Chains A and B, each alone.
Chain A
Amino acid sequence: MLKNLTIGQHYPVESPIHSLDPRVKIIITIFFIVSLFLVDNFTTYLVVIVFLAAVIKMSKVPFKFVIRGLRPILMIILITFIINILMTPGKILLKVGFIKITEEGLRQAGFMAIRLTLLIMGTSLLTLTTSPIILTDGIESLLSPFKRFGLPAHELAMMMTIALRFIPTLLDETEKIMKAQKSRGADFESGNLVSRAKNLVPLLVPLFVSAFRRADELAMAMEARCYRGGENRTRMRQLKISKGDYVASVIFTIYFAAVIIIKIW
């Protein structure tokens, strides 16, 4: 399975979650985020955690892959946690100088940290179980009703596809230019931030020039292959809603209803 080896964080295995229609997955993910913001006590989080854990189990994506998605935003979680602890007024538990830790602060901080963690885990599950190209198809299909309000759904999807296609190519090229400039004595590693940024100029200029040249050639090649925008265009792969998608929708609706009912109580 070499599909998307370097692109995105797609984890290619076969599972009931992987084979869901991308549109269903995107909509469920959006409502999952909504459900997280409806939660206002720790007990309800238990429902969310059980649901998410079950989905992760079913997706056959190793747990550590889902956790890995948290790494880039660990700092954000930490900062919100600390700010919440320090800034929330209420019953003071501990006071050191001007730093006050309140009971409400602790509660609020824990709450936000759990919410952010679940949010990232839920959304990264979408990208883990869907290949970028299928995800793009799904987004295009979901956005197409908005075409009549002037939203360029096809163009957006095309841009995403081309971006995904050229990321590895441009990365290769960056590496090549870097080596070429290094061999002429360019220094990308030492110095302070300002001088390092300055040193990037001989890397970025050729990269941009070449990217524009590529864009030019690609446009010509696309036109030579009869590309004329999204009008009257067909797709080889058709998205189809199957039985599994109905089952998933029903299960998710039950979960969503449960969250709402607990909230109203």
Chain B
Amino acid sequence: MSDHNGTILSVNNLKTYFQTEDGIVKAVDGISFELKKGETLGIVGESGSGKSVTNLSVMRLIQEPPGKIVDGDIVFDGIDIRGLSIDDVRKIRGKRIAMIFQDPMTSLNPFLKISTQLMEVSRLHLGHTKKEAYVHALKMLKTVGIPDAESRIDNYPHEFSGGMRQRVMIAMALSCDPELLIADEPTTALDVTIQAQILELIKDLKERMGTSVILITHDLGVVAGMTEKIIVMYAGKVFEQALTTELFATPASPYTKGLLRSVPDPAHEQGKELYQIPGLPPDVAHLPAGCPFAERCYRVEDICRREFPPFVQITQDHHSLCHFAKEVYAESVAERAALVK
């Protein structure tokens, strides 16, 4: 594996649009980010903000038509993903970039045995024979902590619980030792205790195998403990990009501040009404000319409605898409200082 400055994935100005009857939906509109080897990146945002589409684009899994990657570069380990033929993309899918999906209940084929589904991956990418693939599948099930894997391997998905199925999905994703793992809301469909187990498992496997991870979620609690960097997405755009610690301590976008305030704090807010960002996410097919968040923003001014905001750099790794990014940042720093006192 050659080293490209330690960068495993770089996405530059990615635009993925969908042609609908309602007009062109700009699901992802000019996203850029970089992921270094062994790093974990969190992508957060509301439903429909383009988190999943970004990652489906990286794997070239956008259904075409109606979707299309219209612009931008996706470079994975020096390979231009957009320029590859579909056969070459297939060689990367599952082998070098693997994906875990949101709902483990539906992402396993109900008609095939767990063993068949696990073996399919390694036979496809590692050239295993049936026997080798079976042994490998068994090893992977043990790695992800399925108890009594020998007797469970030939079961069907319906005989597994949700958490177990997600473990199987992880086993499938990791069975070719991928360099990049994309986890698309891996814990949303699971209850809290299982959630913690699965996250712990991903974290542990990531450290052992040195895999880079992109973690998509709308749960800020999940990204906080897992990631080094966070991207906040809204209406197909990156609203804020920062190191995890910095984003939580001193957000520089009103949207991020709103998101952070929306996380309920049971210790101090008991009995009080929970905070929520007013309004609804905009219709991505008919975006206003100015800032897409303007209608919901607490410090909106005329310029926000008129002009699209700039992507302001605040510190070296901290950017925010806001006309008043510096002011919001200063505000956050002041709040932080007050809190520490």
A and B from one complex: no
